[in-house]
Amino acid sequence: MSKAYQIARERYAALGIDTEKVLSQLQDFPLSMHCWQADDVAGFESAGDLTGGIQATGNYPGKARNIDELREDILKAKSLIPGTHRLNLHEIYGEFGGRKVDRDEVGPEHFEGWMQWSREHKTPLDFNSTSFSHPKSGNLSLSNPDKSIRGFWIEHTRRCRDIADAMGRNQGDPCIMNVWVHDGCKDLSVNHYLYRSLLKDSLDRIFAEKKDDMKDCIEGKVFGIGLESFTVGSHDFYTAYAAANGKIPTIDTGHYHPTESPADKVSALLQFVPELMLHVSRPVRWDSDHVTLMDDPTLELFAEIVRAGALERVHYGLDYFDGAINRTGAYVIGSRAAQKCMLRALLEPKDIIGRYELEGRTAEVLTYLEEAKAMPWGAVYDEFCERNGVPVGEAYLKEISDYEKKVTSKR
Ligand code: RNT
Ligand code: ZN
């Protein structure tokens, strides 16, 4: 135990916080690492462009080109991130063995290898249907008035639930499956009610079959590139759908108006929905998906979860994809930043602050919140790294650059 940690432990104990308990909570705080940071959301299905209102910018060398490289990168990143984590896959990351498997033909058999990998590396899997980057994507998928196109995407998403369910069984822990569709309009449009009724009907059909080993999440957003004027799956739409149907809303921190607070949604939504899924990202002016950092919005988001006593009701996915920087580095920086935000939330003297607040003593509230910022939480995070046998502080950089020299730069 380092001297710095011992001092930190005493300082927190004086505020009634047991850092040993916090360290064990942090140990049980799995991040669902998004496989798509490794290859800028390309996947292994085809060499087609990324479409569907999202974009990965940058051309940093060394992205993963196949399943082996992707797994290698994920394991490297995992070795530099303390704690135990999950892996979040998109359907386009299946093992298709060089064959053309269309999205309405996919099944659990294409993820057998992943499930085996999951067991070997004790890394539970989460899953996502993929409605972008496909000739049938267009502007509308699950809300498309064309019966055959809508049917195609319903079939795809149903099959994805079968895959997620198989993953959940395989790992003895529910697989969290996210549905995000880009559906929207580039320009002025008047058929909004129609599109939303079609999306609702599609979801009803997709979710009709009860599954025991997976959970459904639904993710809305403000707009997509090329679909700026209207989004079928808006937040109001999915919030209402989730509340009415007991589904899990996904809060992607990049999917709100710039001054809207994702953190403020936690205590509101959790009154009506069973759980939440997060897509932690860093929007710079828009849904730019920059690498997560320990910034104010992320600190506030995790603090709100802890304050709500909702640690176990939230699934912690990451969702950024920056093609402009070392991608292994992006995983490590973003994951460790998310952990630091959670750690600081767990170390907040919320009982003391909460009591003062109820007594109307605002100066005390502000004092404790303000002083918490300068408490020695960094020593607690370093101790967490030590105990998990991963590099402390910026020491991980050397491993990332060695890996770049030996592995990714040769791709
Ligand atoms: C897009 C959504 C969605 C995707 C991933 C790849 O705006 O955030 O979650 O980023 O599914
Ligand atoms: Zn997202």
pLDDT tens, residue order, the chain (411 aa): 899 999 999 999 999 999 999 999 999 999 999 999 999 999 998 778 899 999 999 999 999 999 999 999 999 999 999 999 999 999 999 999 989 999 999 999 999 999 999 999 999 999 999 999 999 999 999 999 999 999 999 999 999 999 999 999 999 999 999 999 999 999 999 999 999 999 999 999 999 999 999 999 999 999 999 999 999 999 999 999 999 999 999 999 999 999 999 999 999 999 999 999 999 999 999 999 999 999 999 999 999 999 999 999 999 999 999 999 999 999 999 999 999 999 999 999 999 999 999 999 999 999 999 999 999 999 999 999 999 999 999 999 999 999 999 999 999
CA of 338 to the centre of ligand 2 (A): 15
CB 126 within 8 A of CB 88: yes
Q: Which residues of 13-37 are buried (b: 16+ CB within 10 A; e: fewer)?
A: eebebebeebbebbeebbbbbbbbb
Choosing from 90, 110, 182, 255, which is the catalytic residue? 255
Tokens of 67: 């399943």
Q: Verify whether residue 319 is a known catalytic residue.
A: yes
CA of 180 to the centre of ligand 2 (A): 8
Residue nearest to atom 3 of ligand 1 (CA): 180
Tokens of 99: 């064959």
Candidate of 39, 50, 54 to mutate for ligand 1, largest count of ligand atoms within 8 Å of Cβ:
54
CA of 169 to the centre of ligand 1 (A): 25
Q: Which ligand has its closest atom nearest to the C-alpha of 131?
A: 1
- CA gap 50, 406 in Å, rounded: 29
Q: Can you give the pLDDT at residue 1? A: 84
Tell me how far CA of residue 195 lies from CA of 191, 232, 338, in angstroms. Answer: 6, 6, 36
Atom of ligand 1 nearest to the CA of 128: 11
Atom of ligand 1 nearest to the CA of 289: 10
Q: Verify whether residue 255 is a known catalytic residue.
A: yes
Tokens of 87: 């892996």
Identify residue 128 by its one-letter amino acid code: N
- Using left for φ > 0, alpha for ψ between -120 and 50, and beta otherwise, residue 395 falls in alpha
Residue nearest to atom 5 of ligand 1 (CA): 319
Tokens of 329: 């580095």
CB 230 within 8 A of CB 192: yes
- CA gap 87, 118 in Å, rounded: 8
Q: Can you give the pLDDT at residue 46? A: 78
Choosing from 110, 279, 340, 350, which is the catalytic residue? 279
Q: Verify whether residue 34 is a known catalytic residue.
A: no
Place of tokens 């079959």: 209
Q: Ligand 1 site: residues with CB under 6 angstroms?
A: 36, 41, 54, 128, 180, 219, 221, 252, 279, 287, 319
Atom of ligand 1 nearest to the CA of 36: 6
Choosing from 34, 76, 221, 350, which is the catalytic residue? 221
Q: Verify whether residue 279 is a known catalytic residue.
A: yes
- CA gap 272, 73 in Å, rounded: 39
**Class of residue 68 by CB neighbours under 10 A (exposed 0-12, middle 13-18, buried 19+):** exposed
Q: Verify whether residue 117 is a known catalytic residue.
A: no
